[in-house]
Amino acid sequence: MDALKNAGDGPHSSHPDFGHLCLLVFEAVLEVCVVAAPGYILARQGGFSAEQQSYLSKINIAVFTPCLIFSKLASQLTAEKLIELAVIPFIFAVQTFVSWACSQIVARLIFKFEKRPRNFVTAMAVFGNSNSLPISLVISLSKTLSGLHWDKIPGDNDNEVAARGILYLLIFQQLGQVVRWSWGYNVLLAPPKNDHETPPPGSYRDEDSDAASGRLVEFSSDDESDIEQGKAHKHANGNGMAPNGGHTVSTSVSNSGTLTPGDMSPTVIRGAALGTDPSPNGNLGPHLSGQHEDPEDTVTFRRHYNEQYQQEEFSSGPAGWWQRFRAAVCKCWNRVALFIKSIAEKLFSSLPKPVQKFLSAFNRYFSIVWNKFLDVMNPPLWAMLSAIIVASVPGLQHLFYTKGTFINNSVSHAIGQSGGVAVPLILFVLGGNLARNTLPKASDQAIDTEDPKEERNVLIAALVSRMLLPTIFMAPLLALTAKYVPVSILDDPIFVIVCFLLTGAPSALQLAQICQVNGVYMGAMSRLLFQSYVVWILPSTLILVMLALETVEWATGQY
């Protein structure tokens, strides 16, 4: 305590008064609590149900979080900065591995959890808060501590220190976003496998979007005879082959005569829209397999598709206008697709046989990889990919983020304003999650029910794996790295503080969104957030800040 209160030129001169340091940390924590308080109060009064919380979380994931990611990443990064900050992904990978190892030790050896609770503990351990709380602390510390100026930057000041700290946090945040919205969203916190009604993680498709894109084709019951004739025609030629050696379109018709998504796989639906036959080996279309389809099938498919819109009934008023417009777009798209398909068939048939075989194999494997890629991608990841493209192309970045340009004054400002809603909305929903009276009932099959004893053990394991063990292992490693590794960015005091803050930061607030959307471990998540952000956040953050300041003094030789 005496060392912390020393001022002047002696040791620990960069430390603020211990009481003032406690006040800084408390202010940052209180900021989170104040924003979350309205959600908690509203939920306790019964005005913010679990369904409404889940609805807001889905909106945040689909709209506001992607806007936040794009605006922060595309405006701050450049190709040159990406090269200079290449050490950050390495440190992030080490921190993630250490957190993962700690979670596996605790979950497997101590509590001996099964796969699903072990995955939850892993998600809580590896995904720390790198946004709201650390940013508030960095801004406060940069204006209070006197030893954070970097001697390699002439005229360094408090504003520059804060800007660099926020940039470091943003890079860590975006790296975490990539892993969080892929591995975390699709694997660690995925819905239970026995939940057939819940769409796959990362899937934002519904019947309306499928119909709008021309992938869902419906046949009327009057056309069943034509389809049965087509089936008989196929069997007469053996193995579903047309007379000319081509595949015919294989469909499944329900009792009502309607071709439903459950009757066909997505590949079959997409193939039907293009008049192609996805064969069992993954080959999409006869024009890439060296075979030709029966022209009668193409004519039959086109007639069925056109009759769909001729028989469709539209609503009156503006709703009917939109339905007619959508139907016209789908019809035009179908005609364009058939035209492109016919041209592709002619070009493909004119190629030599070896080239046809190579293109068929390439199309098969590319389709597999592309479909896997689409299954993993979701709105935050699409925003991240778009932001990296904009940041890497100077012309695009100039177009979006140069003051006074038309795109900056309209599109970029709109994206920035929408992104500013993401963090407050996360905290608002967090407050609602803390009110356990809004948790869905166990009778709801879409919700992953939890045993009280297991929930308690999961909570303890998650807290230890996130806020205790990673700090014990990473603190000495970071100190030795800052002292002896000759990388320029490691000499920046604010970078060392950022690294320490992230080692033991609480679990990311966006994990509550994912649990809310996927309906998994919502009770444990609520208790974990309360323990992390209300009970343990103040002592944990104080310890992390003090360790960071001691490391900065030792690495810079101020002792």
Give per-10-residue mean pLDDT for the chain (559 aa). 46 63 76 84 87 84 86 77 80 94 92 90 91 76 77 80 81 84 87 53 39 38 46 46 42 40 41 42 41 50 53 65 82 89 89 90 91 82 86 88 88 90 82 69 47 86 93 93 85 89 88 82 84 85 86 76
Residue 403 lies in a domain: no
Residue 131 lies in a domain: yes
SS3 442: coil
Q: Answer positive or negative: Cα dihedral of 478, 481, 483, 486.
A: negative
Q: Answer positive or negative: Cα dihedral of 509, 511, 513, 515.
A: negative
11 with 557: CB under 8 angstroms? no
508 with 525: CB under 8 angstroms? no
Structural domain containing residue 249? 207-376
Cβ density class 324-360: b for 16+ within 10 Å, e for less: eeebeebbeebeeebeebeeebeebeeeeeeebeebb
Non-local CB neighbours of 245 within 8 Å, separated by 6+ positions: 291, 292
Q: How many CB atoms lie within 10 A of CB 239?
A: 7
Residue 337 lies in a domain: yes
pLDDT of residue 124: 94
pLDDT of residue 388: 83
Give, as one character, the DSSP assignment of residue 280. Answer: T
pLDDT of residue 366: 92
And the tokens for 213? 């894109």
Q: Answer positive or negative: Cα dihedral of 210, 214, 220, 225.
A: negative
Q: Are residues 224 and 356 in the same domain?
A: yes
Say which amino acid occupies 515: C
Q: Are residues 27 and 157 in the same domain?
A: yes
Tracing tokens 């408090």 back to the chain, one arrives at: 158
Alpha-carbon distance of 90 to 374, in angstroms, equals: 27
Q: Are residues 229 and 371 in the same domain?
A: yes
Residue 88 lies in a domain: yes
Alpha-carbon distance of 384 to 211, in angstroms, equals: 28
Q: Are residues 249 and 289 in the same domain?
A: yes
pLDDT of residue 91: 92
- Calculate the dihedral angle through the C-alpha atoms of 428, 429, 435, 441, rounding to the nearest 10 degrees: 160
What angle (nearest 5°) sits at the alpha carbon of residue 452, between those of residues 540 and 433? Answer: 55
Q: Are residues 198 and 246 in the same domain?
A: no
Give, as one character, the DSSP assignment of residue 411. Answer: I
pLDDT of residue 428: 86
pLDDT of residue 300: 55
Q: Are residues 89 and 198 in the same domain?
A: yes
Q: Are residues 260 and 126 in the same domain?
A: no
- Chain CA centroid to CA 549, Å: 33
Q: Are residues 34 and 149 in the same domain?
A: yes
193 with 520: CB under 8 angstroms? no
pLDDT of residue 358: 92
| pTM listed for this prediction | 0.60
Residue 397 lies in a domain: no
Quote the number of domains for the chain. 2
pLDDT of residue 559: 53
